């Protein structure tokens, strides 16, 4: 009987195909899907039929290796074909270009969404006719715009061949702002059908002016999503003001997602904590204009207004948002002052937007702790909160806000706030320490001793006393918190000021740190126990040419070994400036700085690494050095390695020592990517020789 019951036991293979298809469709990890396809022929057929998205990473010259079993793919990404950004087979100069395009169409006949690196219009002339039903196209180009007597020449093939186009993404495509309005006006039938237009390109020298924005929105009246880089500076002709905002409303009343960002706000560099938060000029945006703007967009769900110019006394205008835009879920404000007056216990300003799920406040000069508390009381559904460049908020206000939102808040960013260093930021988040999933903070180690990193004061006791002093009795405190006793969040220290509670759900950690500052105090500052941390991003910024030599041999990556599940790291040193060639006496060149940053990386069990080398802006060089290549070669567990820069061929050959390395690529995804790299002798042939050597190796799995 026992053997009979074992034979009759049901397995996953006995489930109906419809249910199995739903299960397979919910699996997003590529390697997991590949493993499923190896179980049996039925699973193979189901996996292939439910695979709708695919990114090709092979060499474009190997036409015979194009996979032909993914015929259900609707989203195809060709932007990472190797060598990156230099695929001659997708240009008119190659005799095999049309054959490659034809093979791609036969292999992926159902494609409706395409991502491609297009250095010249010829690439689009070859590819786009293969899929006439394309509805979404994302173009990528970090190289300079080719010279052309006609504005918008790069986009003409896009609007010519794709008559069913509804979405265009140019967020990673270098163009001129003058290119966009003429080409949209020249193809009115396609432009009028567009639903999504993403022009939020960080590499632009200037943003769109008022006349250009009005022309774009007039040509695309059906837009539901619009992202633009704008000029809000009143010292420029054609700056964006009330007139432009009202024109957007009149031309595109169906907008659900609207991002208007000043060019100066797109930079990746951190602000100056000592600034008072006010700019020299005020934006030409009035309170009445904002109210009329909100009134005209009743369907709005996401709004970003990062104007980089003062918008004063904005509380009254923001109070109109809940009634004028009842579906609003995401709000980001930059340089808006007076967003929450916090007068007594009356809610006002942005605190009245009770439906918000995500709120970002940048450079609000007069935001105080009481303002944060009012936001915590009013915006009770917040799952994501970011605060940047607000100089008057402290740990008390941030901690109280976290207490009020301890049931919903799971993602927090605290950056460039003068009174919130790393230790204070982590202390303020203790009420949600067991819930938070994504976190960004600045590695400012004030309050930590240099010799051991031990906290110099007990913030727990001080905070409880200050909270009691400020709000009086427990009855009065309960007015600001859903917890009957907010002081219960003041946790007992362990004698040295460290936390006694684990960050159980933290999966993603983002850090900013100055060049020359050590990372080693990170665990002691409060992030010692993160058992589920999987991904970390470290942004290193500073001018190494003016700083002193580091006091220690290594940056401190070894301290990340505290996190047992850490598998992915993004180390971004792109805003670290130094001498690529010979440094003056007493200074270190980028070779020594790269050794400092990467020392200890071999101690981590990383699966995927993205690395941006430091740069020398005077010669536009971001190159992997010999010490950097040697230290990266010590990452024995790495399977994916992406270097966002260039390298000598004999340097990257060091990376063949990594036994499990399967995917490695050099990407110059920054502007301007060099047309002909003469500094590192990194040619197309060099990349191909390395990839051939990599593919000849035996990979255990």
Domain boundaries, the chain: 16-51, 166-229+237-252, 294-435, 508-696
**Same fold yes or no, 294-435 and 508-696:** yes
605 touches 572 (CB < 8 A): no
Architecture of domain 294-435: Alpha-Beta Horseshoe (3.80)
Backbone angles phi, psi at 658, to 5 degrees: -75, 115
Residues 314 and 338: their CA atoms lie apart, in Å, by 6
- With a cut of 80, say whether residue 408 has pLDDT above it: yes
More confident residue, 58 or 370: 370
Tokens linked to 54: 């695919």
pLDDT for the residue 93: 59
Q: Report how far Cα 501 is from the mean position of its chain's Cα atoms.
A: 29
pLDDT for the residue 622: 87
* pLDDT level of residue 448 (50, 70, 90 thresholds): low
pLDDT for the residue 381: 96
437 touches 506 (CB < 8 A): yes
pLDDT for the residue 492: 38
Portion of the chain with pLDDT greater than 70, in percent: 88
pLDDT for the residue 686: 83
391 touches 273 (CB < 8 A): yes
Predicted confidence (pLDDT) per residue in 485-526, tens digit: 433 333 434 333 444 479 999 999 999 999 989 999 999 899
Tokens linked to 355: 């439906």
Beta carbons within 8 Å of 264's beta carbon, 6+ residues apart: 233, 308
Mean pLDDT of 66-81: 92
How far apart are the two ends of the chain, measured CA to CA in Å?
A: 40
Mean pLDDT of 75-98: 76
- With a cut of 60, say whether residue 53 has pLDDT above it: yes
More confident residue, 471 or 675: 675
Predicted confidence (pLDDT) per residue in 110-163, tens digit: 999 999 999 889 999 999 999 999 999 999 999 888 888 888 899 999 999 999
Beta carbons within 8 Å of 343's beta carbon, 6+ residues apart: none
Residues 428 and 446: their CA atoms lie apart, in Å, by 15
Predicted confidence (pLDDT) per residue in 218-228, tens digit: 999 999 999 99
- With a cut of 50, say whether residue 586 has pLDDT above it: yes
Please report how the helices 395-404 and 369-378 are oriented relative to each other, as an axis angle in degrees rounded to 10.
10
- With a cut of 90, say whether residue 268 has pLDDT above it: no
Residues 228 and 262: their CA atoms lie apart, in Å, by 9
16-51 is a CATH 1.20.1280 domain? yes
Predicted confidence (pLDDT) per residue in 372-400, tens digit: 999 999 999 999 999 999 999 999 999 99
Residues 536 and 482: their CA atoms lie apart, in Å, by 32
pLDDT for the residue 681: 56
- With a cut of 80, say whether residue 675 has pLDDT above it: no
Plot region of 652 (φ>0 → left; ψ -120 to 50 → alpha; else → beta): alpha
Predicted confidence (pLDDT) per residue in 530-584, tens digit: 999 999 999 999 988 876 777 788 899 999 999 999 999 999 999 999 888 777 7
Sign of CA dihedral 167, 168, 172, 178: negative
Averaged pLDDT score across all residues of the chain: 86
- With a cut of 50, say whether residue 477 has pLDDT above it: no
Residues 501 and 529: their CA atoms lie apart, in Å, by 8
The helix or strand, by DSSP H or E, that contains position 20, with its residue range, turns out to be helix 17-25
Using CA atoms, how far residue 247 sits from 52, 217, 257, 289, in Å, is 39, 8, 16, 11
- With a cut of 50, say whether residue 475 has pLDDT above it: no
Residues 586 and 623: their CA atoms lie apart, in Å, by 22
- With a cut of 90, say whether residue 315 has pLDDT above it: yes
Backbone angles phi, psi at 109, to 5 degrees: -75, -15
Q: What is the CATH number of domain 508-696?
A: 3.80.10
Predicted confidence (pLDDT) per residue in 193-225, tens digit: 999 999 999 888 889 999 999 999 999 999 999
Portion of the chain with pLDDT greater than 90, in percent: 60
pLDDT for the residue 15: 83
pLDDT for the residue 467: 38
Bridge-based pairing state of the strands 358-362 and 384-388: parallel
In sequence order, what E strands does 215-357 have?
A: 225-230, 257-262, 302-311, 330-336
């Amino acid at each position: 009987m026992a053997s009979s019951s074992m034979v009759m036991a049901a397995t996953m293979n006995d489930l109906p195909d419809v249910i199995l298809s739903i299960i397979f469709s919910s699996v997003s990890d590529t390697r997991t899907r590949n493993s499923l396809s190896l179980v049996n022929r039925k699973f193979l057929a189901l996996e292939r039929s439910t695979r709708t998205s695919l990114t090709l990473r092979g060499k474009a010259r190997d036409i015979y290796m194009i996979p032909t079993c993914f015929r259900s793919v609707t989203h195809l990404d060709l932007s990472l074909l190797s060598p990156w950004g230099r695929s001659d087979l997708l240009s008119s100069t190659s005799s095999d270009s049309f054959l490659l395009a034809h093979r791609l169409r036969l292999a992926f006949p159902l494609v409706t969404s395409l991502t491609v690196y297009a250095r010249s219009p010829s690439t689009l002339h070859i590819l786009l006719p293969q899929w006439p039903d394309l509805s979404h196209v994302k173009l990528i180009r970090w190289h300079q715009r080719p010279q052309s007597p006609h504005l918008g020449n790069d986009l003409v093939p896009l609007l010519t061949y794709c008559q069913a186009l509804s979405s265009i993404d140019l967020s990673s495509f270098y163009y001129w702002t003058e290119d966009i309005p003429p080409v949209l006006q020249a193809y009115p039938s396609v432009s009028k059908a567009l639903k999504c237009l993403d022009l939020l390109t960080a590499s632009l020298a200037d943003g769109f002016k008022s006349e250009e924005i009005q022309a774009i929105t007039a040509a695309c009246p059906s837009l539901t999503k619009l992202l633009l880089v704008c000029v809000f500076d009143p010292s420029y002709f054609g700056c964006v003001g009330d007139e432009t905002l009202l024109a957007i409303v009149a031309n595109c009343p169906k907008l659900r997602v609207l991002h208007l960002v000043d060019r100066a706000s797109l930079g990746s560099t951190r602000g100056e904590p000592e600034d008072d938060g006010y700019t020299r000029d005020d934006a030409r945006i009035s309170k009445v204009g904002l109210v009329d703007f909100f009134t005209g967009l009743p369907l709005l769900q996401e709004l970003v207004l990062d104007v980089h110019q003062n918008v004063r006394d904005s509380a009254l205008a923001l109070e109109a948002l809940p009634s004028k835009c009842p579906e609003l879920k995401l709000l980001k404000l930059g340089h808006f002052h007076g967003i929450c007056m916090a007068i007594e216990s009356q809610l006002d300003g942005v605190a009245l937007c009770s439906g918000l799920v995500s709120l970002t406040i940048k450079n609000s000069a007069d935001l105080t702790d009481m303002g944060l508390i009012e936001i915590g009381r009013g915006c009770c559904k917040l799952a994501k909160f970011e605060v940047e460049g607000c100089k008057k908020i402290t740990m008390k206000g941030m901690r109280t806000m976290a207490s009020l939102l301890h049931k919903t808040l799971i993602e927090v960013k605290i950056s460039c706030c003068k009174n919130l260093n790393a230790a204070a930021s982590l202390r303020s988040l203790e009420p949600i320490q067991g819930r938070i999933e994504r976190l960004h903070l600045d590695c400012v180690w004030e309050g930590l001793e240099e010799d051991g990193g031990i906290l110099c004061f007990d913030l727990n006791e001080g905070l409880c006393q200050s909270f009691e002093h400020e709000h009086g009795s427990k009855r009065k405190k309960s007015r600001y918190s859903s917890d009957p006793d907010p002081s219960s969040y003041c946790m007992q220290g362990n004698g040295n000021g460290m936390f006694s509670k684990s960050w159980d759900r933290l999966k993603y950690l983002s850090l900013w740190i100055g060049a020359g500052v050590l990372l080693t105090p990170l665990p002691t500052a409060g992030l010692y126990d993160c058992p589920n941390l999987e991904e970390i991003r470290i942004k290193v910024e500073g001018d190494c040419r003016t700083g002193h030599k580091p006091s220690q041999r290594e940056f401190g990556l070894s301290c990340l070994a505290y996190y047992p599940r850490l598998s992915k790291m993004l180390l971004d040193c792109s805003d670290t400036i130094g001498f690529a060639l010979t440094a003056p006496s007493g200074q270190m060149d980028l070779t020594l700085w790269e050794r400092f940053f990467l020392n200890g990386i071999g101690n981590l069990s990383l699966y995927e690494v993205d690395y941006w080398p430091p740069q020398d802006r005077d010669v536009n060089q971001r190159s992997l050095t010999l010490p950097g290549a040697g230290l990266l070669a010590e990452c024995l567990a790495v399977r994916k390695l992406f270097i966002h820069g260039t390298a000598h061929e004999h340097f990257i050959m060091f990376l063949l020592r990594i036994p499990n390395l399967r995917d490695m690529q050099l990407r110059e995804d920054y502007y301007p990517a060099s047309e002909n790299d003469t500094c590192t002798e990194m040619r197309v042939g060099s990349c191909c020789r390395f990839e051939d050597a990599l593919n000849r190796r035996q990979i255990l799995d």
